[in-house]
Amino acid sequence: MLPNFAALEVGQHLYWQIGNIRLHGQVFLTSWILLGALLVFISLGTKKMENDPKGLQNLLEFLWDYIRDLARTQIGEKVYRDWMPFIGTLFLFVFVSNWGGALIPWRLIKLPSGELGAPTADINTTIALALLVSLSYFYAGLSNKGWRYFEYYVHPTPIMLPFKILEDFTKPLSLSFRLFGNILADELVVGVLVFLVPLILPIPVMFLGLFTSAIQALIFATLAAYYIGEAVEEHH
């Protein structure tokens, strides 16, 4: 059978060595291809903007509206505008990475080591995203409320202090591992099924994977927006 097509490689990477630092090359390769496609898609859609939207512009406006609603409901009317690009970028990045990883038959491209796949199936990517979210909500809270941001830690009672501090660690941890685990698990399940039964049977699981991927993008963006909203919320 097709050993090269169906083989599974877990935890192997295409290493790029630049000076002293080592990178996971396959993550950057796929992310550049997917983000390039995303940017081309967006450039085409926004090239000729009309007041009476047609075709691609319609789709992009729908997307914009969807992200605005997400940001507005989670962050609130007052500051959602500042954070909408960030939330939208997270959503688009995760969504494009997940779906790109699931839809494009990367296995057909052979690498000397490791294999191409969803960039979000690499722990580095998800931790990077989660840490950006952490920095964002700290920045949002401090820039909006100054030192009063730390009232949040003793709100509603000072007993909450240790739990709130703990939350600052659990938030990025859960964000990164949820995304990483879901996408990796999806890739593994599809990989194992393709390895065992290459025909028909993996298809429903692939659809389930697409569904999970979309949901994970939504969850990541919603939670990021929620954390920022929590940080800028005024307590009275």
Partner 1 sequence: MLAFNFFGATEGGLFDINATLPLMAIQVVALTYILNSLFFKPVGNVVEKREKFVSDNIIEAKNKLSEVKKLEADLLSQLQSARTEAQRIVSEAENESDKLFKEALELANNEANASKEKARLEIESQTSAARDQLSKQADDLSELIVNRLILEK
Binding site for partner 1 (CB under 8 A): 3, 7-13, 15, 21-24, 27-28, 31, 35, 39, 42-43, 46, 49-51, 53, 57, 60-61, 64-65, 67-68, 84-86, 88-90, 92-93, 114, 119, 122-125, 127-129, 131-132, 184, 192, 195
CB-wise, 56 or 104, nearer to partner 1?
56
List phi, psi (to 5°) of 74: -85, -40
Q: How far is the CB of 131 from partner 1 (least distance, A)?
A: 6
**Whole-number minimum distance, CB 111 to partner 1, in Å?**
13
Helix axes 202-232, 80-103, angle to 10 degrees: 160
**18: β partners:** 21
Nearer to partner 1, 169 or 207 (CB): 169
Under a CB-based contact definition with an 8 Å cutoff, are residues 90 and 128 in contact? no
Nearest distance from residue 30's CB to partner 1, in Å? 12
Closest CB 19 distance from partner 1, rounded Å:
10
Q: How far is the CB of 13 from partner 1 (least distance, A)?
A: 6
Burial of 111 (0-12, 13-18, 19+ CB in 10 A): middle
Q: Give bridge partners of residue 21 from the DSSP assignment.
A: 18
Q: Distance between alpha carbon 79 and the CA centroid of its chain, in Å?
A: 22
φ, ψ (nearest 5 deg) of residue 78: -75, -45
Residues 6+ apart with CB under 8 A from 217: 91, 94, 95, 98
Shortest approach of partner 1 to residue 182 CB, angstroms? 14
Q: Which is nearer to partner 1, 53 or 76 (CB)?
A: 53
Closest CA to 124 of 217, 221, 31, 231: 31
- Residue 55 has which token pair? 């075709």
Nearer to partner 1, 17 or 157 (CB): 17
Asked whether 233 and 81 are in contact (CB, 8 A), the reply is no
Based on CB atoms, which residue is closest to partner 1, 89 or 144? 89
Q: Which is nearer to partner 1, 7 or 203 (CB)?
A: 7
d(CA 101, CA 185): 12
